[in-house]
Amino acid sequence: MYLSNAIEARIDELCQERNLTLNKLCTNCGITQSTLNNLKHRQTKSVTVLTIVRICRGLEIEVKDFFNSPLFAELDDD
Task: Give the pLDDT of the chain (78 residues) as one tens digit per residue.
Answer: 888 888 989 999 999 999 999 899 999 999 998 888 888 776 666 788 999 999 999 999 999 999 999 999 888 876
Contacts 24+ apart (CB under 8 A), 43-47: 45/4, 45/78, 46/4, 46/78, 47/4, 47/7
Question: Is-contact 54 7, C-beta < 8 A?
Answer: no
The rounded distance, in Å, linking the Cα atoms of 33 and 2 is 22
**CATH of region 3-68:** 1.10.260.40
Task: Find, among 48, 56, 42, 53, the residue nearest to 6 by Cα.
Answer: 42
Q: Where are the domains of the chain?
A: 3-68
